[in-house]
Amino acid sequence: MKKIVVLISGSGSNLQAIIDECKSKSIQAEIVCVISNNPTAFGLQRAKSAGIKTLVLNHKEYQSRDLFDNELYKILKNQNADLIVLAGFMRILTEKITKNFYGKIINIHPSLLPKYPGLNTHQQVIDNKDIIHGITIHYVSSELDGGPIIAQGEITTSVDGDIDNLIERIHTLEHELYPEIIKYICDNRINIYSNEVKFKNLSLEGTHIYKKYDI
């Protein structure tokens, strides 16, 4: 069975979706550890309630990003996970992590990359009156939100510009698509070779999975 480590910074709603799918055996894997840079992250309680080991690596206790990542590297290496899942982990990782674990780390980003990397994606969608919005799941590289894309999910936006409703719908989409992609990776139906994502018996649109949702 594959071993997963999940990195979080906040409430851990995506973590909970992954926990539920592992518990139901839909994802053939075990979450062996949940790591947070935020000691008050509610996601830590979610993990503890599920009997999952937790570790806190408070970035405020480190004088530099490099020192923090050096310690995180040691922890990840010791965990020897098959897959490292970033689920609302609000830290930019240095090459110490991205290069040494390349092909093992995935991230979920709330936009249809390459559009709107970084923060405040929902507000940018509203400000620019975009008619579609969505999420991107990708392998993590040294480029911020720039690694090879695995999957994207799309929703249509509403004309009222209600950001809270938009965020809620994106979260619903994340909780559906992220566990699905993790399942495929753990089933060896998604892999990466020489910066190219390879898919086995999965429907693609172009170079990756692309799904439209009525949420």
Contacts of 174 (CB under 8 A, 6+ apart): 13, 14, 17, 108, 110, 135
Domains 1-101 and 109-215 share a fold: yes
Q: Say how far apart CA 85 and CA 77 lie, in whole Å.
A: 14
DSSP structure class, residue 108: E
CATH of domain 109-215: 3.40.50.170
Whether residue 111 has pLDDT greater than 80: yes
Which position among 59, 109, 122, 208 bears the catalytic label? 109
Positive or negative, the Cα torsion across 186, 188, 194, 197? negative
**If you count DSSP H runs as helices and E runs as strands, how many of each does the chain have, helices first?**
6, 10
Residues 188 and 1: beta-carbon distance below 8 Å: no
192-213 pLDDT, tens digit per residue, is: 998 899 999 999 999 999 999 9
Q: Where are the domains of the chain?
A: 1-101, 109-215
For this structure, is 171 an active site residue? no
- What are 146-194's pLDDT values in tens digits? 999 999 999 999 878 899 999 999 999 999 999 999 999 999 999 999 8
Architecture per CATH, 1-101: 3-Layer(aba) Sandwich (3.40)
Q: What is the DSSP letter of 117?
A: -
E strand segments, the chain: 2-8, 29-36, 54-56, 83-86, 105-109, 132-139, 149-156, 190-193, 196-199, 209-212
Q: Which residues pair with 132 in a beta bridge?
A: 156
Q: Which two tokens stand for residue 71?
A: 């310690």
Residue 159's pLDDT is 75
pLDDT at 158 (0 to 100)? 86
Contact 14, 175 (CB under 8 A): yes
Give the model confidence (pLDDT) of 17-54 as tens digits.
Answer: 999 999 999 999 999 999 999 999 999 999 999 999 99
